[in-house]
């Protein structure tokens, strides 16, 4: 993973081993297998995928630290819940007393303090792990160094803990829910359209049948899955309004005057559904991306699920890899059915309203193992 983060020029988590996403995805497959043996066989895929992507991102950040991981996940989850959604103060930013009056500011402050003390403990734990493996190596013992993101930041001596904590929390908040959200919506769209599910499944099974399992290297040859993920991003961008910008000078935009200092919100969700740029814009049709040069890397302004420009998502490579790896595993190891006699076209796709658009109702589905 290659990230550019403010004061740091570059941070690289170099290997999938450090990110360790494969292990977490294997765990998800195992949990699904177990659940499929239960009487009803119905699983809450939304919840399972949310858990998976939080585990993947926390492993990449600081590995597994018993007790602390869970505490951090809970606090970070609460912060992200509080931050999503709109508040009165967003509509009337000049009324600066509103966040204080509503209790929003106090709530955030106490959550930040909670996250900060857990992160202090995580940093201390990684620091002592690093120094004990250094002493083992100096004593001639073979000890492999683990490089999680916190370790990389600790190696850069001039980073005060305050910055390490801010970067860790930001990455967790930005990278956890987004990947889960995209997996959940893309699976929902495929449940609704068995034709697409079948085509993606055929591709994945053809690629990995001989090996019997999905691997990250093989993911790059899955052209249809690539189109499916792009189509998921077009219709359900996990950050629908990107990050707010502020205009640095007066500007004229689409005939409107935008004065200096205006908060500008870019609606990536609406852009992805604009019929001027997309035919049958509301339809989930991955084939539109076959032999099409439009990509999500910030150069095609009709498709900006990761934003564009200097504030573009620095974690898109990591996010896409997690999403593809998870989807490929879900498609390879299981066939999927809806509970009872629900028909695919009747699957409820109601969205929540807020800074991120999630499914209003969790995706409840039945996994049927491909191989016993």
Q: Which residues bind ligand HEM (CB under 6 A)?
A: 170-171, 174-175, 178-179, 182, 238-239, 242-243, 305-308, 311-316, 318-319, 323
To which residue do tokens 């209790």 refer? 103
User: How many CB atoms lie under 10 A from the CB of residue 235?
Assistant: 20
Smallest distance, ligand HEM to C-beta of residue 302, A: 15
CA angle at 358 for the pair 101 and 94, rounded to the nearest 5° = 30
Nearer to ligand HEM, 191 or 313 (CB): 313
Nearer to ligand HEM, 316 or 336 (CB): 316
Nearer to ligand HEM, 316 or 334 (CB): 316
Smallest distance, ligand HEM to C-beta of residue 171, A: 5
Nearer to ligand HEM, 266 or 338 (CB): 266
Question: DSSP assignment, residue 144?
Answer: P
Q: Name, in order, each residue with C-beta under 8 angstroms of 8's C-beta and a sequence gap of 6 or more.
A: 153, 156, 159, 167
Q: Are 3 and 60 in contact (CB under 8 A)?
A: no
Give residue number: closest CB to ligand HEM. 307
Nearer to ligand HEM, 137 or 311 (CB): 311
Nearer to ligand HEM, 241 or 338 (CB): 241
Nearer to ligand HEM, 126 or 234 (CB): 234
| 313 is known to lie in a ligand binding site | yes
CA nearest neighbour of 12 among 1, 27, 24? 1
Three-state secondary-structure class, residue 311: helix
Smallest distance, ligand HEM to C-beta of residue 322, A: 7
Smallest distance, ligand HEM to C-beta of residue 369, A: 27
Q: Rounded to an integer, what distance in angstroms lies between the CA atom of residue 102 and that of residue 281?
A: 39
**Distance (Å) of CA 159 to CA 86, 137, 155, 163:** 34, 24, 8, 6
Q: Are 253 and 286 in contact (CB under 8 A)?
A: no
**Distance (Å) of CA 329 to CA 11, 124, 205, 368:** 28, 36, 10, 13
Three-state secondary-structure class, residue 242: coil
Smallest distance, ligand HEM to C-beta of residue 329, A: 16
Number of residues that this document lists for the chain: 372
User: For residue 368, what is the enclosing H or E element?
Assistant: strand 364-369
Which residues contribute to the annotated binding site?
313
Which residues contribute to the annotated binding site for heme?
313
């Amino acid at each position: 993973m290659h990230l550019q983060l403010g004061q740091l020029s570059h941070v690289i988590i170099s290997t999938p081993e450090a990110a360790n996403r494969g292990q977490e995805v294997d765990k998800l497959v195992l949990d699904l297998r177990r659940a499929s043996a239960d009487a009803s066989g119905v699983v809450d895929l939304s919840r399972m995928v949310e858990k998976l992507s939080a585990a993947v991102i926390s492993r990449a950040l600081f590995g597994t630290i018993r007790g602390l991981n869970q505490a951090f996940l809970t606090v970070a989850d609460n912060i992200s819940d509080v931050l999503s959604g709109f508040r009165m103060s967003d509509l009337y930013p000049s009324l600066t007393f509103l966040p204080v009056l509503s209790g929003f500011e106090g709530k955030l402050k106490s959550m930040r303090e909670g996250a900060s003390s857990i992160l202090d403990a995580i940093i201390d734990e990684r620091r002592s792990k690093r120094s004990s493996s250094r002493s083992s190596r100096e004593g001639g013992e073979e000890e492999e160094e683990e490089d999680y993101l916190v370790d990389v930041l600790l190696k850069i001596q001039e980073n005060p803990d305050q910055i390490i904590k801010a970067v860790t929390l930001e990455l967790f908040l930005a990278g956890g829910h987004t990947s889960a959200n995209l997996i959940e919506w893309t699976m929902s769209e495929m449940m609704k359209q068995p034709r697409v599910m079948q085509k993606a499944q055929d591709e994945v099974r053809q690629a990995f049948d001989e090996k019997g399992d999905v691997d990250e290297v093989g993911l790059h040859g899955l052209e249809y899955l690539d189109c499916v993920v792009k189509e998921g991003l077009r219709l359900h961008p996990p950050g629908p309004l990107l990050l707010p910008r502020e205009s640095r000078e007066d500007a004229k935009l689409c005939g409107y005057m935008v004065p200096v200092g205006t908060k500008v919100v870019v609606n990536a969700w609406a852009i992805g559904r604009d019929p001027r740029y997309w035919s049958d814009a509301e339809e989930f049709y991955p084939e539109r991306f076959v032999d099409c040069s439009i990509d999500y890397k910030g150069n095609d302004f009709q498709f900006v699920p990761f934003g564009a420009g200097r504030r573009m998502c620095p974690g898109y490579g990591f996010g896409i890899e997690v999403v593809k790896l998870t989807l490929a595993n879900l498609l390879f190891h299981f066939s999927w059915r809806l509970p009872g006699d629900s028909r695919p076209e009747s699957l409820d796709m109601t969205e929540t309203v807020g800074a991120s658009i999630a499914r209003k109702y969790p995706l409840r589905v039945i996994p049927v193992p491909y191989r016993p």
